[in-house]
Structure 1
Amino acid sequence: MRDSTVMQELRSDPLEWHRRGMSSPLEIDRIVISRLGIGVSADPTYADFFQAAA
């Protein structure tokens, strides 16, 4: 069985998550916060007016 400190270090490294085809919990938190609009300014940004060409 692996040492718990080694496992904790692996869990905190985003590259280890990506290596296994997953996103790290911190990245998922950032995605959720950005999609919910938490902490986003009420002022319009360029993203409100421009979208990527399809």
Structure 2
Amino acid sequence: MLTIKRKKESEAQQLLEIQKEEFAEDLKKYQDHGTSRVNEPIERLLKKIEIFLYYTI
């Protein structure tokens, strides 16, 4: 079964942890420290959740 849910601000920390784990290899490979989602602060992610439609599958 496939479920699509809109993310809530209360789930930001969990999403940030997943994001860091999933983009770690890309950061190693490309060394894009300034733009990598691994280095994204929680405040920026919260703002993006507020402004944009964030979903998880």
Q: TM-score, normalised by structure 1?
A: 0.27
Instruction: With a CA cutoff of 8 Å and minimum separation of 6, indicate the structure with the bigger relative contact order.
Output: 2
Higher strand share: 2
